[in-house]
Amino acid sequence: SQVCIKYFVHLCVLLKKSFLFCLTGTRAECPVQLNPQRAVVRYGDSVAVNCSTSVPHQGMGWEASEGAVTMTRDSLITWRVSNLIEWDIQPYCYINHEEQCQVELPVTIYKTPDSVSISIVNHRGPMIEGKQYELQCDVHDVAPVQNLTVKWYKGQTLLNQTTFTEDNKTPVNETTTLLIRPDRADDGAQYRCEAELELGAEGPQPPPKETSGRLNVELNYKPKHSNSTETIIKNDEVTLNCTVKANPAPKYTWHSEHLKEEISSSVLQSSTVLLSPGNYTCTATNSLGSDSKVFIIKWLESQRRARPGFIIKSTGGL
C-alpha cells in the first residue's frame, strides 16, 4: 500500500546505512528527472524544483525537512519552499518503480558578505618608498566559503586572488592579506579588494560580488634626479632646471664658484642670475634624503674662439 511504501522510505531515511542497501537504484538508473538538476538559492529566497517521470509507478514524492511532498501517483511533483533558511537542507525525489530509488537534489544556499573592508596592518600615515606593507581584506558573513574568491586590485589591474578550501555551508568571516612594496609611481595609487561568489552555471550571472572602499596610497620618497649631470651649451639664454619630484616637497641649494649668493629656487635663469661657463651643483633635500645634479655650462665653440674669457650678462642679470 501507499502507507507501507511511505513508511518504508521514512525508515530508510532514519537508518541511513540501511537506506543505501534498500534503495539500490543510482541516479543514472532512477527514472526521474529533476529540473533544474541543481538549485542555487540566495539565503531567504524562494525555490521550486520539479521532479518528473515518464514511467508507470506505484508512487513518487519529495523528502525534505522543508517542502516535502507526500507520495502521489502524479508524474510531476514540485519541491517548493518560499523562504529557504536551512543551510544544510538535502531534498530528494523518490519513486517506486520495479524497485525503490531516489535522486538527491544538490542545493547551494549562498549569502553575499555583510561588508568587505580594506586596511593597512599596523600602520598609519604615509608609506615610505621601498618599505614592505601588509594590506588586509576582511570579508564578513559570507557563504559558502568554498565558492568565494577574494581579488586584489590596484586601479583596474588585478594583482592577486585567493580561493578557499574549507567545506562550510554556513556563513563565515574570512581575512586575506597582500604584501606590497610601493615605489614613487604608486603615490596616489588606489587599492581595493573584491569578494566574489562563483556559483556555477546555475547561479546568478554575473557572479555576485561586494567591493571594499578604496585605499589611497600616500607615499613619501626622497628626491632622485633622472640624470646626475647635464651639459648645456651657452647661448643668449640659459636655464638650469633642478626641479625633481619628491614627497615631502624638497628644498634646493646651489653651489658654484660663480654664484655670489645663496639661492633656494629650483630653476636658475640667465635672465635673473649671472651664469658663467662652469659647473653648478644643485642639491634637492627632504626628510628622507637628498640627491645632487651637476650642470656644466660650456661656451659655443665660435664664442670661445672669438671672445676667450668673455662672460655674457643678460639684461636682467644680478
Walk me through the domains of the chain, giving residue ranges and CATH numbers.
Answer: 2-109 (2.60.40.10), 115-220 (2.60.40.10), 229-306 (2.60.40.10)
Quick: pLDDT tens for 120-155. 999 999 999 999 999 999 999 999 999 999 999 999
Q: What is the pLDDT of residue 299?
A: 80
Q: What is the pLDDT of residue 185?
A: 93
Positions of the chain with pLDDT lower than 70, given as ranges: 1-28, 301-318
Q: List, as one string, the DSSP characters of 132-162.
A: -EEEEEEEEEEB-GGGEEEEEEETTEEEEEE
Q: What is the pLDDT of residue 228?
A: 94
Q: Report which residue type is found at 185.
A: A
| Residues 190, 211 contacting (CB under 8 angstroms) | no
The residue with cell 547561479 is: 203
Q: What is the pLDDT of residue 156?
A: 96
| Residues 128, 219 contacting (CB under 8 angstroms) | yes
Q: What three-state secondary structure class fits 51? A: strand
| Alpha helices per DSSP H over the chain | 2-14, 16-22, 301-306
Q: What is the pLDDT of residue 12?
A: 41
Rounded Cα–Cα distance for residues 235 and 277 (Å)? 11
Q: What is the pLDDT of residue 23?
A: 40
